[in-house]
Every structure is written in structure tokens, then in C-alpha cells.
Amino acid sequence: MSALIEAEKLTRVLPETVPVTLVKDITLAIDEREFVAVTGPSGSGKSSLLYLLGLLDRPTAGTLRIGGRDTEPMNERERARTRLSMLGFVFQFHFLLPEFTARENVEIPMRKLGRLARPEMRERAGELLSSLGLGEHLDKRPDQLSGGQRQRVAVARSLANDPPLILADEPTGSLDSKSSEQVFAILENLVRERGKTVVAVTHDLDMAARMDRRIHIVDGKIG
């Protein structure tokens, strides 16, 4: 069985006057149910790698297969569709839509995918948020929630369409230690209990040590 993510010689160069190489010749494979940390100093290119894996950015060279499918020939619409159904993102900042309630934020990806009926979406969003301890905050808007709560809403949103792969970019980077621990436990739980694959960029080495596997990036290369 093929791996969930297969990257071969993935390279991303910014076409500035002096070209900047963000990611260079990265070859890796990540299997299902893996809990992977991407570590490295700031500016090493670990976030850039994550954006490439998440189809938010296009590689300059190399190939990337997600779920066995080559992403190279996909157009913008197909890439968006893949993000919607296969991937979930959690960023350092929650990046919730500020005008919508927690539940609506979780419902939006479901409504875009349109696989469920409206009442089911509503129910599922409520369940997801409740399972992350936010059962009492369903109808609050992001500015009425604490940092940790917002981040948990973001995790719930990433799970909205039940994607096999969750990509997290410094998910605990802007949280205090208690909330960090909470969010980490949730991510770990996703892998152990729900069978997800989680790839998290972090510079917290303690946290990385508790994950299944560590990919260390230095100057855009695996080091």
C-alpha cells in the first residue's frame, strides 16, 4: 500500500531578482496514522514545506503525490477540491472567519463540499466542537473566545470533512503552556483514536520528542 504523502525532490524557489530557495530536494513519505513533527530553526523552510504538502503553494520542481494521486497536473480548482476533502489545516493563528460563530466556521467547509444535508452538518459541527470541549461555546463568535478555545475551533474546522491528513503550522505557537498541552493532546488523540495523519511544524523540541517521527529541516533540506 502506498503512503499517504509521497514527495520526491520537492523544490520551491521564489523567483525574486536574487532567487530565494525555500525548500530544496526534499524526498519523504508519510504513512497513514503517523504523527510527524517537522522541526528546524526559524527560516529553515519548514513552514514552506508544509504549504507545499498542503497544496497551498506549487513546487518549482519535484513531484508530490497525495493519497496516491499526482498533484502536478491538477488545476487550481482540483487543488482546491483536494484541500477541501483530503486536507485539514491548523495555523499558528486561528484564522477563523470573524463574522461567523464557532459552529458556522466548522460548517463552512462542509457546506462547500456539500456531502451532507444541512441538519447533519449542523449536528456534526456540534459534535466535533463538543468532543473538543467547546459544547458550551457553539454560538459564540471568535472574538468571544479565548486563544486556546479559538485554536480548538480551528482544529474542529480542519476535521469538518473528515480528511485523512491534518497539517498544523505551529499550532501551539501563540498559546500559553496549559492551552498548548490541551491542543497537543487533541492532535495526538486524532492520530491514536481517529486514525488521522498529523504533520505538525513546531520549534518546541519537547513536543516534537513526544511525536512518532521528526523531520528536521535546515536551510530547506532534510538535515
Partner 1 sequence: MPLIFDIAITHIAGRGRQTLVAVIGVAVGVGFSIAMAALMQGGQDDFVRQLVDTMPHVDITDEQRTARRQPAEDAFATVAISGLRPRDDRRGIINPTAATSWLESWLPGRFAASLKAQGVIRYSSREVGAAIIGIEPERESGVSPIVGDFVEGSFSALAAGGNNVLIGDTMASRLGAGFGDTITAVSSEGLTRNFKIAGLFHTGTTARDEGEAYVLLKNAQILSARPNAINEIRIKLDDPNRAPAVAHRAEAELGYKAVAWQEANESILEALVVRNVIMYTVVGAIMLVAGFGIYNIISTITHEKARDIAIMKSLGFPESDMRRLFLLEGVAIGAAGSVLGALLGFSMTYALSLVRFEIAATGQEMTRLPIAWSLMHYVIASAFALGSAAVAGYLPARRAARLNPVEIIRGAS
CA distance 24 to 219: 8
- How many CB atoms neighbour CB 8 within 10 A? 14
Binding segment for partner 1 (CB under 8 A), chosen from 3-11, 53-61, 63-71, 203-211, is: 53-61
Residue from 20, 93, 185, 218 that binds partner 1 (CB under 8 A)? Answer: 93
**d(C-alpha 7, C-alpha 92), whole Å:** 24
Q: Quote the least distance from Cβ 167 to partner 1, whole Å.
A: 10
CB of 62 to partner 1, least distance (A): 17
Q: How far apart are the first and last CA of the chain?
A: 27
- Edge-first strand order for the sheet with 221-222 is 87-90, 165-169, 197-201, 35-39, 213-218, 221-222
Answer yes or no whether residue 129 interacts with partner 1 by CB under 8 A: no
When the beta carbons of 134 and 160 are compared against partner 1, the nearer one is 160
β-partners of residue 217 are 222
Q: Which of 41, 43, 68, 98 binds partner 1 (CB under 8 A)?
A: 98
95 touches 103 (CB < 8 A): no
Return the residues of window 131-170 that contact partner 1 according to CB under 8 A: 157, 169
Distance CA 37, CA 217 (A): 10
Determine the size of the site formed for partner 1 (CB under 8 A).
33
How many DSSP H helices and E strands does the chain contain? 7, 10
- 80 sits near partner 1 (criterion: CB under 8 A): yes
Bridge partner residues of 28 (DSSP): 7
Cα–Cα distance for residue pair 179/115, rounded to 1 Å = 33
Question: Between residues 111 and 210, which has the closer beta carbon with respect to partner 1?
Answer: 111
Region near partner 1 per CB under 8 A, out of 102-110, 122-130, 176-184, 196-204 = 102-110
91 near partner 1, judged by CB under 8 A: yes
Q: Cβ of residue 1: shortest distance to partner 1, in angstroms? A: 25
- Minimum CB separation of residue 189 from partner 1 in Å reads 22
**96, three cell numbers:** 477563523
Q: For partner 1, give the closer residue by CB, 35 or 89.
A: 89
Residues that bind partner 1 (CB under 8 A): 47-48, 51, 54, 56-57, 76-77, 80-85, 87, 89, 91-93, 95-100, 104, 108-109, 111-113, 157, 169
